[in-house]
Structure 1
Amino acid sequence: MHPAPSVIIFSTFSGLGFGLLAWLGIGLPAVTGWVAFVFYVIAYLLAVGGLIASTFHLGHPERALKAFTQWRTSWLSREGWLAVLALLVMAVHGAGLVFFDQHWWPVGLIGAALSLGAVFSTSMIYAQLKAIPRWHQKLTPVNFLSLSIAGGALLAGQVTWAIVLLLVAGAVQLATWLIGDGAFARSGTNMASATRLGTIGKVRAFEPPHTGTNYLLREFVYVIGRKHSFKLRIIAIMLMAVVPVILLLLPFHHIEALLAVLSHLAGVLAARWLFFAEAEHVVGLYYGKR
């Protein structure tokens, strides 16, 4: 798949923002007043900023509101509803902390659940796609949720939780890559099954379908070299998990915490770029690219 910057920014920043909102919803960190206000500003900038970035990938952004009508069948629609509800509920919870020094537990827990539900819905947009075997696996939502929760713990200043959850998220990311590498082969999809001509003999492409490029080739047949992919995986896992954990284990200073957040963010961006760049769409079989 073509790794569009808008979707990479959306899935990375909104995941971190909703992850932080989930931690705030359960009362961690236990802050009120202006300190709580700062945490909520950071969470909303990440979550809302990511959601806005996602519209830049749409051919007609003005039609985005129509997605809310398809909640019965569309994970994209469910993501939109859950994101809006999470932001509204957490706004009420934040008002209690900022203006009344009150942690309204029922509101916070509902908001936390809605926040993680929004992240889960985002992951299911990709996990439901049978045409991309690398994404069509149970670890895809686990990957999105683990990074969101770990990143949220890091932003919330929950050092012990962040260390544990970053290691878990890193392990999940490695497992997602390893299992995903063989997903296309395990799916059994090939030129014969794609064309439904396998019953009459061996199927091969005689000539390319056309001499130039087209939308399908640009969007769904992005190819990254295996050597480059391996290097980027090392960079991503080091930045997203290993470096932040090392920094958090050092004597606590604000500069180390800031560097841990920036490192994690860079690592997640790299991993999310690979998430799209390594995705093999079955339409590539038609063009002899798989």
Structure 2
Amino acid sequence: MHPAPSVIIFSSLSGAGFGLLFFLGLGMPAPSGWVAFVFYVIAYALAVGGLLSAFFHLANPKNAVKSYSQWRTSWLSREAWAAVAALVVMGLYAFGQVFLGTTWTALGWLGAALSIGTVFTTSMIYAQLKTIPRWNQLPATPLMFLSCSLAGGALLSGNVTLAVVLLLVAGGVTLWHWSAGDTRFAEAGSTLNTATGLKGKMGLWEKPHTGENYLTREMVYQVARKHAVKLRVIAIALMSLLPALLILVLPTHIGAVLAVISHIAGILTQRWLFFAEAEHVVGLYYGAHLGKAAA
């Protein structure tokens, strides 16, 4: 699929923001006053900034409010409700720490659960799509989103030892998701025969239309394998290995800042690949996977 910058930014930044809110809700750390204010400004800037990016990605943003009515069947609607609930609860929790010097533990735990729950609902928007086999991986897709969110949150919250562990876990889960995803389309069993309902050896004589349209621009986008491999190496190095190394070798504020920058750059690369490598079954009508199907 063609990677939309707004969705890449949304899933990357909001995940880190809600990850930071998760650790703040658990009291890891439990700041107060101006220190708490700075922590929450960073968390809300990432979480809300990411959500706004997704909002402007909508074809008709003014209809976004209608998504709240579909919570029974739509993961997008559940994400919207979870995000609002998490931000409101954590806002009240932050008020106590910033202005009253008080930590309401029960409220923090509730906010932490809602924050990580928001990340889970985001992951399920993609994981439940059977038309995109690479995304339709349970539990790999949700675990990838959750591990990256927790790694970013631990890094931003200053939990150094935990951050190192979670950064490496996020890298490992990402490698697992890529490895399993490479064979998902074939495992799903979608071929030109299943797409057309015809039997026998199928071939593409002519594409459905001669010019480009939304499907060819957005759904049949493909990234060259050699480029994908290079980007995978860059993503793992930036999102996991380099940040972990920086906070271990350079345990200063400068090291922490460099680690955060590296991690976010790596996550952005990982999310670009997440969308660019996604293969929609509609691509079968445009000649995608014909060689594999024939084999």
TM-score category (smaller protein): over 0.9
Question: What code does the residue aligned with 1:156 have?
Answer: S
Quote the Cα distance in structure 1 between the aligned partners of 2:201 and 2:176: 35
What is the CA-CA distance between 1:251 and the residue it aligns to? Answer: 4.2
Map of 1:45 onto structure 2: 45
Map of 1:267 onto structure 2: 266
Question: What code does the residue aligned with 2:145 have?
Answer: F
Quote the Cα distance in structure 2 between the aligned partners of 1:50 and 1:104: 27
Map of 1:104 onto structure 2: 104
Does residue 86 (structure 1) correspond to residue 86 (structure 2)? The answer is yes
Farther-moved stretch of structure 1 (105-114 vs 245-254):
245-254
Question: What code does the residue aligned with 1:272 have?
Answer: R
Map of 1:95 onto structure 2: 95
Map of 1:252 onto structure 2: 251
Structure 2 gaps of 5+ residues are 290-295
Farther-moved stretch of structure 1 (51-60 vs 264-273):
51-60
Map of 2:145 onto structure 1: 144
Quote the Cα distance in structure 1 between the aligned partners of 2:260 and 2:242: 10
Task: Please show how residues 94-133 of structure 1 align to structure 2 within 5 Å.
Answer: 94-133=94-133
What is the CA-CA distance between 1:289 and the residue it aligns to? Answer: 2.1
What is the CA-CA distance between 1:196 and the residue it aligns to? Answer: 1.1
Question: What code does the residue aligned with 1:31 have?
Answer: P
Quote the Cα distance in structure 1 between the aligned partners of 2:198 and 2:80: 40
What is the CA-CA distance between 1:57 and the residue it aligns to? Answer: 1.6
After superposition, the C-alpha distances for 1:253-284 in whole angstroms (9 at most, x for unaligned) are 11000000000000000000000000000000
Question: What code does the residue aligned with 2:178 have?
Answer: W
Map of 1:34 onto structure 2: 34
Quote the Cα distance in structure 2 between the aligned partners of 1:205 and 1:58: 34
For 1:269, what is the secondary structure of its paired residue? helix
Question: What code does the residue aligned with 1:124 have?
Answer: M
Task: Please show how residues 56-71 of structure 1 align to structure 2 within 5 Å.
Answer: 56-71=56-71
For 1:140, what is the secondary structure of its paired residue? helix
How many residue pairs were aligned? 288
TM-score by length of 1: 0.98
Quote the Cα distance in structure 1 between the aligned partners of 2:179 and 2:204: 30
Map of 1:163 onto structure 2: 164
Map of 2:185 onto structure 1: 184
For 1:28, what is the secondary structure of its paired residue? coil
Task: Please show how residues 219-238 of structure 1 align to structure 2 within 5 Å.
Answer: 219-238=218-237
What is the CA-CA distance between 1:250 and the residue it aligns to? Answer: 1.2
Map of 2:292 onto structure 1: none
For 1:204, what is the secondary structure of its paired residue? coil
Map of 2:17 onto structure 1: 17
After superposition, the C-alpha distances for 1:120-145 in whole angstroms (9 at most, x for unaligned) are 00000000000000000010000000
Map of 2:293 onto structure 1: none
Superposed structure 1 runs of 4+ greater than 3 Å apart? none
Quote the Cα distance in structure 2 between the aligned partners of 1:289 and 1:130: 17
Question: What code does the residue aligned with 2:10 have?
Answer: F
Task: Please show how residues 207-226 of structure 1 align to structure 2 within 5 Å.
Answer: 207-226=206-225
Question: What code does the residue aligned with 1:107 have?
Answer: L
For 1:111, what is the secondary structure of its paired residue? helix
TM-score by length of 2: 0.97
Quote the Cα distance in structure 1 between the aligned partners of 2:253 and 2:177: 32
Percent identity reads 63
Quote the Cα distance in structure 1 between the aligned partners of 2:89 and 2:273: 33
Does residue 6 (structure 1) correspond to residue 6 (structure 2)? The answer is yes
